[in-house]
């Protein structure tokens, strides 16, 4: 053999968290000194960049939230300030809104041990797990618990609480919509109880949304019959555009060349 | 007598580099300065006035000199001399790539130094941005492999930040130039192995498979240990993504496969996906080995996904089944779990099925779902790939190595050159492309 392999990095969640804790615990003294220094000098990088995240959340630009948060996470100095949650918590929720669980998982895994055991981090980790496993009823319950936590008067940052409340609300809406679309594809018929479990709303709300989307409901047997969620003009013939003409002309030119 | 005080030597260096008449002269001067240890000590020192020479130099205009100074400072053991990450990031954002290419070994030293500094301060995350700028700005275009690539991907993994590597991993490597970067054989292996690991962490299975395959099938006289590790991960990723493994390219070293067959991974692959009990037994029996090789995560994911492949097989035979029968076939007793599995497979597009309230499941062929824009995008992609392939073929066909082997092959036998070069055996007498593209 020519080369001994580098030690492969951890891949499972447990291995990642163990490695992250091992790395962070050994640096806590140095970082604690740094934290004290930065605390004495005023707001740190996380506080300074947080308003940009607030702006992106207000504009409902979740890819932008991710971009800003990832950049701050790479450039900011210090791992142990609680203010790091100003960046990581919105980052995780933004990934969940876009249904991208793996990078959300690693964002949480990069937290130091003290942050990982923070109630906010633990709830986000739980929300991530139940979302990844598509445990629908637990998703809604965990999201509600999260909102309850950040609504408490003693929550450590009220601006963050506002941002997280909005992000959690948007996440639940999008998750519910994706689930509704999936039910339309995956079920010929389902009971109202099943629909309530999947969608986390009472039957009246389900009926209202179902009738908007052309579902049928038999009140005797309490069976819903979904209609396939319509794709928006996917296979209909659209009029040709100038860009299509340019593309076709270019392709023919290449063939002739 | 030549000065021996490093600060005075630094004065001389500064005077020379700022008055040299060409960049080549600067590069030669810095490279050939002797003795080397005095040069490095001088480059890591302030000027004799106590001033920092970096304050007098412009990064875009004096890239080479700043590069030498930074690498010297990164190499000294004195912590006070080490540049800050802000300085390093600023350099990597603004350096002149053409100047830096005059000293590729120094660029490698810079990348290694940045990584080492980050690890020594227990903050590998801080190296990611500087290395990102370095790797994306140094080469003339992103298709070139450089020594910075493996250092960057390893750093992303050390920082538990696989998504940071994506902008680089998204550009396939098609060009090698040893004048551009002092590459070694291992750089290619390490980059594609660690790139595969990053993609697997993000569950981008198809891309991870491609990266591992490139590592596994890299030609060499003897297989590298890293290639065997990549082969193990490749097989597991294939099981997770498709439920079965795929044959390797025929130019893969056969010794690798022989070594793989002697490992418990081979037993795992053979038992997959139907014999779940045997899979659990292998996982339990060889846990220590799998843990030491950091493959437990992939093995567990493969094991968790085993029932879905058994379910998928049912769709080839049955038009409809009920949940209880499906549960028996995939060996899941809980109907709720079967329902959840079906829903997951429908959501990911693995099967097309519809569940009814009475528990019956009807399977169907998946309806085609594509937009005109998607078709146009695919066509455009194919055109670009064909052009690239044609260009690469022409470049290779006029290379000295290829021409000498082709002539030798023609002289010795008709169309056959060697066991490990049978890709060239398709050459027709009129010289049509080896991929069968007619002239």
Give B434 to chain A, closest Cα distance, Å: 21
pLDDT at A238 over 70: no
Q: Mutation test of the interface with chain A: which of B123, B151, B193, B358, choosing the one with the most A Cβ atoms within 10 A?
A: B123
In angstroms, the CA A191 to CA A186 distance is: 13
Q: Is A232 on the interface with B (CB under 8 A)?
A: no
CA distances (Å), B162 to each of A70, A94, A256, B433, in order?
12, 17, 44, 38
In terms of pLDDT, which residue wins out, B18 or B226?
Answer: B226
pLDDT at position A41: 55
Asked whether residue A69 is assigned to any structural domain, the reply reads yes
B282, two tokens = 């292998």
In angstroms, the CA A161 to CA A144 distance is: 14
Query: Could you tell me which chain B residue has the CA closest to the CA of A5?
Result: B226
Domain containing A22: what range?
A: 13-175
In angstroms, the CA B232 to CA B215 distance is: 12
Nearest by CB: A16 against B160, B197, B293: B160
Do A142 and A192 lie in one domain? The reply is: no
Do A60 and A144 lie in one domain? The reply is: yes
Asked whether residue A226 is assigned to any structural domain, the reply reads yes
| ipTM of predicted complex | 0.83
Q: Mutation test of the interface with chain A: which of B357, B376, B378, B380, choosing the one with the most A Cβ atoms within 10 A?
A: B357
pLDDT at position B416: 44
Rounded to 5, what percent of chain B is helix, strand, coil?
Answer: 65, 5, 30
Asked whether residue A8 is assigned to any structural domain, the reply reads no
Asked whether residue A123 is assigned to any structural domain, the reply reads yes
Query: Measured between beta carbons, which residues in chain B are less than 8 angstroms from residue A234?
Result: 369-371
Give B84 to chain A, closest Cα distance, Å: 11
Per residue in B370-416, pLDDT (tens digit) is: 777 788 888 888 888 888 888 888 888 888 888 888 888 776 655 44
Q: Is A32 on the interface with B (CB under 8 A)?
A: no
Do A26 and A111 lie in one domain? The reply is: yes
Do A77 and A198 lie in one domain? The reply is: no
DSSP class per residue in B290-329 = HHHTT-HHHHHHHHHHHHHHHHHHHHHH-SEEEHHHHHHH
Nearest by CB: B225 against A5, A16, A23: A5
Q: Whole-model pTM? A: 0.84
Query: Could you tell me which chain B residue has the CA closest to the CA of A190?
Result: B357
Provide the chain A residues 82-141 that lie in CB contact (below 8 A) with chain B.
Answer: 101-103, 106, 109-110, 134
Residue range B239-244: mean pLDDT, rounded:
95
Least confident of A213-227, B24-38, B293-307: B24-38
Nearest by CB: B122 against A27, A194, A247: A27
Provide the chain A residues 162-191 that lie in CB contact (below 8 A) with chain B.
Answer: 182, 185-191
Cβ pair B85, B50 in contact under 8 A? no
pLDDT at position A230: 55
Query: Measured between beta carbons, which residues in chain A are less than 8 angstroms from residue B202?
Result: 102-103
Do A57 and A161 lie in one domain? The reply is: yes
Do A80 and A163 lie in one domain? The reply is: yes
Do A170 and A102 lie in one domain? The reply is: yes
* Core vs surface per residue B201-226: b (16+ CB within 10 A) or e: bbbbbebbbbbbbbbbbbeeeebbeb
Per residue in B75-103, pLDDT (tens digit) is: 886 555 689 999 999 999 999 999 999 99
* CB contact (8 A) between residue B357 and residue A19: no
* CB contact (8 A) between residue A11 and residue B295: yes
Range list of H helices, A26-135: 28-40, 45-58, 62-75, 85-97, 101-109, 113-116, 119-132
Do A62 and A77 lie in one domain? The reply is: yes
CATH number of domain containing A187: 1.10.10
Asked whether residue A2 is assigned to any structural domain, the reply reads no
Nearest by CB: B190 against A6, A77, A134: A6
Residue finishing a domain among A128, A160, A175: A175
Residue range A120-148: mean pLDDT, rounded:
96
Query: Could you tell me which chain B residue has the CA closest to the CA of A77?
Result: B126
Residue finishing a domain among A151, A175, A199: A175
Which of A31, A113, A114 has its CA nearest to residue A76? A31
Asked whether residue A209 is assigned to any structural domain, the reply reads yes
* CB contact (8 A) between residue B158 and residue A9: yes
Do A109 and A199 lie in one domain? The reply is: no
Asked whether residue A82 is assigned to any structural domain, the reply reads yes
Helix axes A242-256, B372-397, angle to 10 degrees: 30
Cβ pair A176, B341 in contact under 8 A? no
Asked whether residue A4 is assigned to any structural domain, the reply reads no
Query: Measured between beta carbons, which residues in chain A are less than 8 angstroms from residue B354?
Result: 185-188
Domains identified in chain A, total number: 2
Do A65 and A23 lie in one domain? The reply is: yes
Do A105 and A202 lie in one domain? The reply is: no
Query: Could you tell me which chain B residue has the CA closest to the CA of A235?
Result: B371
Cβ pair B237, B205 in contact under 8 A? yes
B179, two tokens = 């004048």
Phi, psi of B364 (to 5 degrees): -150, 170
Highest mean pLDDT among A104-108, B39-43, B361-365: A104-108
Cβ pair B360, B325 in contact under 8 A? no
pLDDT band at B38 (very low <50, low <70, confident <90, very high): confident
Q: Is A255 on the interface with B (CB under 8 A)?
A: no
Query: Measured between beta carbons, which residues in chain A are less than 8 angstroms from residue B154?
Result: 6
Do A151 and A224 lie in one domain? The reply is: no
């Amino acid at each position: 053999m020519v080369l001994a392999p580098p030690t492969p990095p951890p891949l499972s969640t447990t291995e990642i968290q163990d490695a992250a804790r091992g790395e962070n615990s050994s640096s806590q003294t140095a970082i604690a000194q740094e934290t004290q220094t930065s605390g004495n000098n005023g707001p740190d990088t996380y506080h300074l960049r947080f308003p940009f995240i607030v702006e992106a959340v207000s504009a409902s630009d979740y890819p932008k939230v991710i971009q800003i948060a990832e950049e701050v996470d790479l450039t900011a100095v210090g791992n142990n300030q609680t203010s790091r949650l100003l960046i990581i918590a919105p980052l995780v929720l933004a990934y969940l809104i876009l249904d991208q669980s793996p990078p959300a998982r690693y964002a949480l895994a990069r937290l130091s041990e003290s942050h990982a055991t923070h109630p906010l981090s633990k709830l986000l980790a739980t929300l991530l797990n139940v979302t990844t496993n598509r445990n629908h009823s637990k998703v809604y319950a965990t999201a509600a618990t999260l909102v309850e936590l950040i609504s408490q008067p003693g929550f450590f940052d009220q601006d963050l609480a506002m941002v997280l409340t909005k992000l959690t609300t948007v996440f639940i809406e999008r998750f519910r919509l994706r689930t509704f679309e999936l039910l339309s594809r995956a079920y010929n018929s389902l009971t109202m109880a099943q629909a309530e479990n999947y969608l986390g709303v009472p039957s009246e709300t389900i009926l209202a949304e179902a009738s908007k989307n052309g579902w049928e409901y038999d009140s005797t047997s309490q069976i819903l019959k979904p209609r396939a969620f319509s794709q928006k003009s996917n296979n209909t013939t659209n009029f040709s555009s100038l860009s299509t003409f340019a593309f076709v002309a270019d392709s023919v030119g290449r063939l002739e060349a | 007598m030549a000065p021996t005080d490093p600060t005075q030597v630094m004065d001389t260096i500064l005077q020379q580099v700022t008055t040299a008449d060409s960049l080549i002269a600067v590069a030669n001067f810095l490279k050939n300065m002797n003795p080397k240890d005095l040069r490095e000590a001088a480059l890591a020192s302030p000027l004799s006035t106590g001033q920092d020479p970096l304050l007098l130099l412009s990064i875009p205009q004096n890239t080479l000199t700043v590069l030498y100074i930074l690498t010297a400072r990164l190499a000294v053991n004195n912590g006070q001399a080490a540049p800050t990450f802000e300085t390093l990031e600023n350099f990597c954002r603004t350096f002149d790539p053409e100047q830096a290419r005059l000293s590729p070994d120094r660029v490698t030293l810079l990348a290694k130094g940045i990584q080492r500094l980050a690890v020594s301060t227990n903050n590998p995350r801080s190296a990611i941005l500087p290395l990102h700028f370095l790797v994306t700005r140094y080469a003339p275009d992103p298709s070139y492999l450089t020594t910075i690539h493996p250092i960057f991907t390893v750093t992303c993994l050390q920082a538990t930040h696989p998504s940071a590597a994506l902008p680089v991993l998204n550009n396939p490597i098609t060009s090698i130039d040893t004048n551009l970067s002092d590459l070694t054989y291992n750089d290619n292996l390490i980059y594609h192995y660690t790139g595969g690991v990053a993609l697997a962490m993000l569950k981008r299975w198809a891309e991870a498979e491609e990266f591992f395959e490139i590592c596994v099938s890299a030609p060499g006289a003897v297989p590298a240990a890293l290639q065997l590790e990549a082969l193990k991960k490749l097989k597991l990723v294939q099981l997770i993504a498709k439920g079965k493994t795929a044959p390797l390219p025929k130019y893969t070293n056969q010794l690798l496969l022989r070594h793989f067959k002697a490992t418990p991974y081979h037993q795992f692959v053979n038992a997959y996906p139907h014999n779940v009990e045997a899979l659990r037994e292998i996982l339990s029996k060889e846990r220590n080995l799998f843990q030491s090789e950091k493959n437990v995560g992939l093995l567990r994911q493969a094991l968790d996904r085993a029932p879905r492949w058994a379910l998928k097989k049912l769709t080839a035979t049955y038009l409809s089944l009920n949940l209880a029968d499906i549960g028996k076939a995939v060996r899941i007793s809980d109907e709720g779990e079967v329902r959840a599995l079906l829903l997951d497979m429908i959501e990911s597009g693995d099967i097309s099925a519809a569940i009814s309230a009475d528990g019956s499941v009807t399977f169907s062929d998946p309806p085609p779902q594509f937009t005109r824009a998607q078709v146009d995008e695919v066509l455009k992609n194919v055109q670009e790939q064909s052009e690239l392939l044609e260009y690469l073929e022409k470049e290779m066909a006029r290379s000295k190595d290829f021409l000498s082997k082709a002539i030798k092959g023609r002289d010795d036998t008709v169309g056959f050159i060697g066991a490990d070069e049978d890709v060239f055996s398709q050459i027709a007498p009129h010289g049509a492309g080896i991929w069968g593209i007619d002239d």
